[in-house]
Structure 1
Amino acid sequence: MNKINILYTGRHPEILETVVRLINQNENWNGFGASSNEEAINLFTTINFTIVLLGCGIPEDEEKQLRDTFAAINPECPVIQHYGGGSGLLSNEIYAALAKANV
């Protein structure tokens, strides 16, 4: 089985590192992190992501740019807001997005 690629983008380096580490603790998931829109879009255009998580600290206009760009490239990929709250909440958000994406 191929791993599910998950992109997390946020502006806080410590949170980004933690979320990607938590994602990668699941043997079926492959987490990637991006700290800027440019980095997130570059990753999104080169890797087939199943889910995108938007973290805190992204200005509203940049979030809109990301959502619009991701939707134009792959409208089937859910983009969900992740505000934190521990690994249990993160896993639940990912499982819910996977169910929504029929994965």
Structure 2
Amino acid sequence: MEKLKILAIGRHPEIMQTVIRLINNNPDWDGTAAITDKEAVQAFDHEVFDLIMLCSGIEPESEENLRAYFTAHRPAVKIIQHYGGGSGLLTAEIYEALKEQPR
């Protein structure tokens, strides 16, 4: 089975390192981090992601623009919000999104 490709976007490099480490601890997942909108769009344009995770610190206008860009270019992509918390919450958010999206 192919790994689930996850693009995690957030503004805090240290937090994003932790988020990506937690994602990549699951052998079935492959996480990529983006700190800026530009990095997020470049990653999205060069790779097919199954899930986009919006993490803390993203300004409302940026979040709105990113959501609009992603859905305009790949309407079926699943976008979820990550509110922080421990690894259990992160994992639960991803599994919850997967339940809603057939793979």
For Structure 1 versus Structure 2, the TM-score category normalised by the shorter chain is over 0.9
| Runs of 4 or more above 6 Å deviation | none
Aligned to 2:74: 74
Residue 8 of structure 1 contacts residue 33 of structure 1 at CA under 8 Å; is this kept in 2?
yes
Matched AA of 2:43: L
For residues 59 and 48 of structure 1, the distance between their equivalents in structure 2, rounded to whole angstroms, comes to: 24
1:76 alignment partner, SS class: coil
Residue correspondences, number: 103
Displacement after TM superposition at 1:37 (Å)? 0.5
Percentage of pairs with the same residue: 48
Displacement after TM superposition at 1:85 (Å)? 0.9
Aligned to 1:94: 94
Structure 1: segments with no counterpart, 5+ residues? none
- Normalization by structure 1: what TM-score? 0.97
Matches within 5 A, 1:46-61: 46-61=46-61
For residues 75 and 84 of structure 1, the distance between their equivalents in structure 2, rounded to whole angstroms, comes to: 26
For residues 91 and 47 of structure 1, the distance between their equivalents in structure 2, rounded to whole angstroms, comes to: 22
Aligned to 1:39: 39
Matched AA of 2:11: R
For residues 96 and 73 of structure 2, the distance between their equivalents in structure 1, rounded to whole angstroms, comes to: 22
- Normalization by structure 2: what TM-score? 0.97
Q: CA RMSD in A?
A: 0.7
Structure 2: segments with no counterpart, 5+ residues? none
1:7 alignment partner, SS class: strand
